[in-house]
Chains A and B, each alone.
Chain A
Amino acid sequence: EVQLVESGGDLVQPGGSLRLSCVASGFTFSTYWMHWVRQAPGTGLVCLALINTDGSSTKYADSVKGRFTISRDNAKDTLFLQINSLRPEDTARYYCATAAGHWGRGTLVTVSS
């Protein structure tokens, strides 16, 4: 069974940083492009970043470019999202997802003083 389990979400102050993780199982992680998507409370879905299979190519939404960094460790079947300079508008549930349509349950990031 395909599983994606996110972790690392927390309550942080504006300007803070977090590193989100997504552990994959049940499929060959190293052969899939991966995405991070977020959903602010009561709103829709926004793709933030994607990474190719070996991590050599990444792309970001304009709203997070320069603050967010996506990376992966294929040896550990794990996807990461480093989030810096957090703003209140970054408050959301963050999901990892495969290009094949599998999603984790998400991890909650709250940015507030």
Chain B
Amino acid sequence: EIVMTQSPATLSVSPGERATLSCRASQSVSSNLAWFQQKPGQAPRLLIYGASTRATGIPARFSGSGSGTEFTLTISSLQSEDFAVYYCQQYIDWWTFGQGTKVEIK
């Protein structure tokens, strides 16, 4: 099974600042990598697929990069509605998720 590891576990950021989240795969997943946002009591929401393609309706402040085993989600200027938990997911072989990064208000 491909293991996904996210860092940091918690990221404290002030509104308007940039947030950078990392995700590492235990073996290459090529570009078969997605990012999800989850708020309390809600289902995960797809932000990015194919490592760098924004899903429909996702603001341009969200961007993804990377391929192979190293990936990054960048939120260019955090808005109040962006404070949530973010998960990376590989889908080249089964589905496995990282343990999540909580983005909290500093």
On A, residues with C-beta under 8 Å from B are 35, 37, 44-47, 50, 59, 61, 95, 99, 101-106
Chain A residues closer than 8 Å to B95, beta-carbon distance: 35, 37, 47, 50
Q: Chain B 83-96, CB within 8 Å of chain A: the 1/0 string?
A: 00001010100111
By CB atoms of chain B within 10 A, which of A47, A101, A104 has the most?
A: A101
In the assembled complex, the CB of A61 is this many whole angstroms from the nearest CB of chain B, namely: 8
On B, residues with C-beta under 8 Å from A are 34, 36, 42-46, 49, 55, 87, 89, 91, 94-100
By CB atoms of chain B within 10 A, which of A44, A102, A104, A106 has the most?
A: A44
A-B contact count (CB 8 A): 37
Q: A47-B97, A101-B46 are in contact. List 19 more A-B contacts (CB 8 A).
A: A44-B97, A44-B99, A44-B100, A45-B44, A45-B87, A45-B89, A45-B97, A47-B95, A47-B96, A50-B94, A50-B95, A61-B94, A95-B43, A95-B44, A99-B91, A101-B49, A103-B46, A105-B42, A105-B43
- With A101-B49, A101-B55 already in contact, the answer to whether A44 and B98 are too (CB < 8 A) is yes
In the assembled complex, the CB of B47 is this many whole angstroms from the nearest CB of chain A, namely: 9
In the assembled complex, the CB of B84 is this many whole angstroms from the nearest CB of chain A, namely: 14
Chain B residues closer than 8 Å to A50, beta-carbon distance: 94-95
Chain B residues closer than 8 Å to A61, beta-carbon distance: 94
Chain A residues closer than 8 Å to B99, beta-carbon distance: 44
User: What are 18 A-B contacts with C-beta separation under 8 Å?
Assistant: A35-B95, A37-B95, A44-B87, A44-B97, A44-B98, A44-B99, A45-B89, A46-B97, A47-B94, A47-B95, A50-B94, A50-B95, A95-B43, A101-B34, A101-B46, A103-B44, A103-B45, A105-B43
